[in-house]
Amino acid sequence: MTDRLTIALAQLNPTVGDVAGNAALAREARAEAAKAGADLIVFPELFLIGYPPEDLVLKPALQEAVQVEVGQLAGETGDGGPAMLLPTSWAEDGKVFNAILLLDGGEIAAVRTKHELPNYGVFDEKRVFEAGPLPGPVNFRGVRLGVPICEDIWTPEVPECLIETGAEILVVANGSPFEVDKVDVRTNIAVARVTETGLPLIYLNQVGGQDELVFDGASFVLNADRGLAVQMPAFQTGIVMTQWSRGDDDVWVCETGAREAPLARSENIYQAMVLGLRDYVNKNRFPGVVLGLSGGVDSALSAAVAVDALGPERVHCVMMPSRYTSQDSLDDAAEGAKLLGARLDTVPIVPGVGAFEAMLNPLFDGREPDITEENIQSRIRGVTLMAISNKFGNMVLTTGNKSEMSVGYATIYGDMCGGYSVLKDVYKMTCYELCNWRNQQKPAGALGPAGRVVPENVITKAPSAELREDQTDQDSLPPYPALDDILECLVEREMAVEEIVARGHDKETVHRIEHLLYIAEYKRRQAPPGVKITAKNFGRDRRYPITNRFRDRT
């Protein structure tokens, strides 16, 4: 029985479906851990196949690839180096499990499977995995390690079973997506499990973007007295060695190591947006992005995130002025691109608008211009960006925010046209908050310049789509502070109309916003994916019917 352990925590960024590539990452991490004298290296949830795999995990060919790589990795542990706690999908008797394997001494020394399968919000694991039995600990060189997987610690049942069956340390592999304030929630859950079991706990989370989800890492270790021994950084990959010793009371203690300070709200959100876009572009092998730079706050923020994620040389900005575009917008777009160091081209849409007017004039003759002509402008811009994308290969980045998408203040096949939406889950007022923050701070790992990146006039002027004379957003929407509060109440909190009115909002306005929210569902179904930021993003979290006559009449 050993009284000392060195456990390496591999906070890494796997790619879904890249079994061989993820196995190579595991080998590299194990080699690094071996040089540092580690006895064991731990990886995040479903590391070998990436998380979340969705229905991909049901493909027999994927499971065959898993078997091959696991066999090779297990054999490599016969060299006397660190053992591996490797999370992966695992097929047995025609069933697929979310599992964690102990690879040691050249073999698969133990297999444990996830008992609690989450089936809410962004999770639908019951669709693809079988629930495993309540697990007992694994015996690792005389130390009994409890290895619950992610959701297994969100309720007391699995940790209670582990303490009753002799576990000495809880080692938890996680695939916990980012959302605002999620770090505090995770910490509180972990503290509760430590308090109930009296055991120290390793919480290891992955880093990286996977479609709409971003994983922020921020792994940590709590000792049995609930003291924080180790705190890894958010949004950064890395391998940390933790030193463990058995106390006189037989309780294991982790020596205090590096403890990174938590990020403030604005930096958390901004870093999530950067990482989500970077991984979406790079993992899908796009050379870069192209976006419309209008001189407004949303496109300016989107461009800043893109430059920080990819570097200015991979971001192509396009100004597409119409006859309604103000000189301020032209100047602001030019200044914004200059501040970022990004390429800016100008493609006027006036000739295209004229062509459409000529085409449609016989049919529209005698009818006054209305939203039809506004949407034509937006759609011409969408066609222009898609043409540039097709010609040069860059992905179109849309720039609409959550406030607009909530109430349908976006043109389908127009400004919604694109492959990814970095502001999809960011309300308008948060956009302003982030612009001001980024102008004062350059986040760690950002590839853009330090200092101001969004022109001051972009932040201070009244927002406008500039699709008709003297247009502002507030011609048809409440002021954004009020709109965002109403939307947060309706979307994130599912509050009744009377509760929202009690917060000081006009009842008729709340009813109107609720109606707009419901009737815009068909647009959101056709919107590109975007980074999940809030507790309820559109798509994976909030799934409402398109055909829906319910209205809250309170």
Look at residue 48 in the predicted model and tell me its pLDDT: 98
Which residues on neighbouring strands pair with residue 11, listed in sequence order?
A: 238
DSSP state of 124: -
Q: How far apart are CA 249 and CA 179, in angstroms?
A: 39
Q: What phi and psi values does residue 396 have, to the nearest 5 degrees? A: -75, 125
Q: How many helices and strands (H and E) does the chain possess?
A: 16, 20
Q: What is the dihedral of CA 147, 149, 152, 153, to 10 degrees?
A: 70
Answer yes or no: are the C-beta atoms of 201 and 221 closer than 8 Å. Answer: yes
Q: How far apart are CA 136 and CA 143, in angstroms?
A: 13
Sorted by where each starts, the structural domains of the chain and their CATH numbers stand as: 4-262 (3.60.110.10), 266-525 (3.40.50.620)
- Taken in order 32, 36, 39, 45, the sign of the CA dihedral is negative
Please tell me whether residue 456 adopts helix, strand or coil conformation.
Answer: helix
Peptide bond into 348 cis (omega under 30): no
**Residues 241-292 pLDDT 10s:** 999 999 888 899 999 999 999 999 999 999 999 999 999 999 999 999 999 9
Q: How far apart are CA 174 and CA 100, in angstroms?
A: 11
Q: What phi and psi values does residue 186 have, to the nearest 5 degrees? A: -60, -45
Percent over 90 (pLDDT), the chain? 86
Q: How far apart are CA 520 and CA 409, in angstroms?
A: 9
Nearest CA to 520 out of 417, 414, 409 is that of 409
Q: How far apart are CA 15 and CA 28, in angstroms?
A: 15
- Taken in order 45, 46, 48, 50, the sign of the CA dihedral is negative
Looking at residue 225, its amino acid is D
Look at residue 178 in the predicted model and tell me its pLDDT: 95
Look at residue 470 in the predicted model and tell me its pLDDT: 59
Q: How confident is the model at residue 381 (pLDDT cuts 50, 70, 90)?
A: very high
**Residues 325-341 pLDDT 10s:** 889 999 999 999 999 99
Q: How far apart are CA 80 and CA 72, in angstroms?
A: 15
Q: Which residues contact 258 (CB under 8 A, 6 or more apart)?
A: 230, 231, 232, 240
And the tokens for 283? 């993992």
Q: How far apart are CA 114 and CA 235, in angstroms?
A: 26
Q: Which residues contact 60 (CB under 8 A, 6 or more apart)?
A: none
User: What amino acid positions are annotated as catalytic residues?
Assistant: 45, 114, 150
DSSP state of 94: T
Q: How far apart are CA 521 and CA 287, in angstroms?
A: 32
Q: How far apart are CA 192 and CA 375, in angstroms?
A: 53
Q: How far apart are CA 269 and CA 425, in angstroms?
A: 10
Q: How far apart are CA 265 and CA 263, in angstroms?
A: 7
Question: What residue ranges in 148-280 does DSSP mark as E strands?
Answer: 169-174, 201-205, 207-210, 213-216, 220-222, 228-231, 238-246, 252-254
Evaluate if residue 223 carries a pLDDT over 90. yes
Provide the angle, in degrees to the nearest 10, between the axes of the packed helices 507-519 and 480-491: 60
And the tokens for 199? 């055991």
Q: State pTM to two decimals.
A: 0.94
Q: How far apart are CA 216 and CA 11, in angstroms?
A: 10
Q: How confident is the model at residue 468 (pLDDT cuts 50, 70, 90)?
A: low
And the tokens for 304? 């800043």
Nearest CA to 415 out of 288, 286, 526, 315 is that of 526
**Residues 148-188 pLDDT 10s:** 999 999 999 999 999 999 999 999 999 999 999 899 999 99
User: What is the overall mean pLDDT for the chain?
Assistant: 94
Answer yes or no: are the C-beta atoms of 536 and 503 closer than 8 Å. Answer: no
Q: How far apart are CA 47 and CA 60, in angstroms?
A: 18
